[in-house]
């Protein structure tokens, strides 16, 4: 059954109102609403988010909105694929209940919006360095979606690791009563993390693209299996960057952080990753496509 599509805020709120406070079983369990925010052009990774949402809620709303406030000057806002009909057909296969596909005017009566949701220091690294203002744009659109849908659960992919961390911070700091679920990265058979921007890759680039994940896997294994001096650690990073660059990528960043995106330096000079959960994060251009990936590592 195809999900019901709403384009305006009031109609969606009216449709969701009957579920609030309703009981749906003999034990008196309250019905729960889940939100899966997307920019559309859906792939199997998005569909997996919906499947996870269905496990945690009775009603699933998928938002499809190419958000102008998170695109910078010269980025691909105008060319970003808009494929609503195809997206709705895909969502029908995973039993999504509602699609919220608002216009820019509906979401932003004034653009740029005079109200800001600032993400703070966590946003001033990694993607935030090369995309200034990006996460503030993410913050305001997610805050708006949370206010519009008022979900009990929201599901985001871990491929955008920094974004997920910022959304968890937003929920904590603004006291949203929402359970944020981070869904594991969905990959193609050759390891490439699924992304709407993968379609920018040429046929030859698509053959090269899995090198990104392979390089992270090898770096993760080296971090887990070797007692590292600072010099050895630095060499591992240099070697990994060289492998990625030699494959044809232009690296935006390759960094290792704690799983909460803090520094792995125990002070200004000392390297220490023992007994830490850490994450390797990379962003790199391959032709027109900016690819993200990450790898969690437990170092004992």
277 bridge partner residues: 298
Provide the token pair at 300: 């004992």
CA–CA gap between residue 153 and residue 179 (Å, rounded)? 5
Q: According to the annotation, is 195 in a ligand binding site? A: yes
Provide the token pair at 169: 């911070």
HEC-encoded secondary structure of 143-200: HHHHHHHCCCEEEEECCCHHHHHHHHHHHHHCCCCCEEEEECCCECCCCCECCHHHHH
Provide the token pair at 85: 């009909």
Q: According to the annotation, is 199 in a ligand binding site? A: no
| Cβ neighbours for 211, distance < 8 A, ≥ 6 positions apart | 243, 244, 247, 249
Q: According to the annotation, is 42 in a ligand binding site? A: yes
Q: According to the annotation, is 186 in a ligand binding site? A: yes
Q: According to the annotation, is 70 in a ligand binding site? A: yes
Cβ distance 120 to 128 under 8 Å? no
* CA dist list (Å): 143 to 13, 138, 150: 15, 8, 10
46 is catalytic: yes
Q: According to the annotation, is 90 in a ligand binding site? A: no
In the set 7, 46, 56, 134, the catalytic residue is: 46
Altogether, the residues listed in the chain come to a count of: 300
Binding residues for ATP: 39-46, 157-160, 186, 194-197
Binding residues for (R)-pantoate: 70, 163
- Catalytic sites, residue numbers: 46
């Amino acid at each position: 059954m195809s999900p019901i599509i709403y384009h305006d805020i009031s109609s969606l709120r009216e449709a969701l109102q009957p579920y609030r406070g309703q009981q749906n079983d003999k034990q008196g369990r309250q019905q729960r609403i889940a939100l899966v925010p997307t920019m559309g052009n859906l792939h199997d990774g998005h569909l997996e988010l919906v499947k996870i949402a269905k496990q945690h809620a009775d009603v699933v709303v998928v938002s499809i909105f190419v958000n102008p406030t998170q695109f910078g000057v010269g980025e691909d806002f105008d060319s970003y694929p808009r494929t609503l009909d195809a997206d709705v057909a895909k969502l029908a296969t995973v039993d999504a209940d509602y699609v919220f596909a608002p216009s820019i005017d509906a979401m932003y009566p004034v653009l740029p919006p005079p109200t800001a949701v600032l993400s703070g220091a966590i946003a001033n690294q990694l993607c935030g360095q090369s995309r200034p203002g990006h996460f503030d744009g993410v913050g305001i659109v997610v805050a708006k979606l949370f206010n519009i849908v008022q979900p009990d659960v929201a599901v985001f992919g871990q491929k955008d690791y920094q974004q997920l961390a910022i959304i968890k911070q937003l929920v904590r700091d603004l006291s949203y009563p929402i359970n944020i679920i981070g869904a594991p990265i969905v990959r193609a058979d050759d390891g490439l993390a699924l992304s709407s921007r993968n379609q920018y890759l040429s046929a030859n680039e698509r053959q090269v693209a899995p090198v990104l994940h392979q390089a992270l896997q090898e770096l993760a294994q080296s971090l887990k299996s070797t007692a590292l001096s600072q010099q050895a650690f630095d060499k591992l990073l240099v070697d990994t960057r060289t492998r990625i660059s030699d494959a044809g990528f232009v690296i935006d960043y390759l960094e290792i952080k704690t799983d909460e995106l803090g520094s792995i330096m125990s002070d200004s000079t000392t390297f220490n990753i023992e007994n830490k959960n850490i994450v390797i994060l990379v962003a790199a251009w391959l032709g027109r496509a900016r690819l993200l990936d990450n790898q969690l590592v437990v170092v004992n």
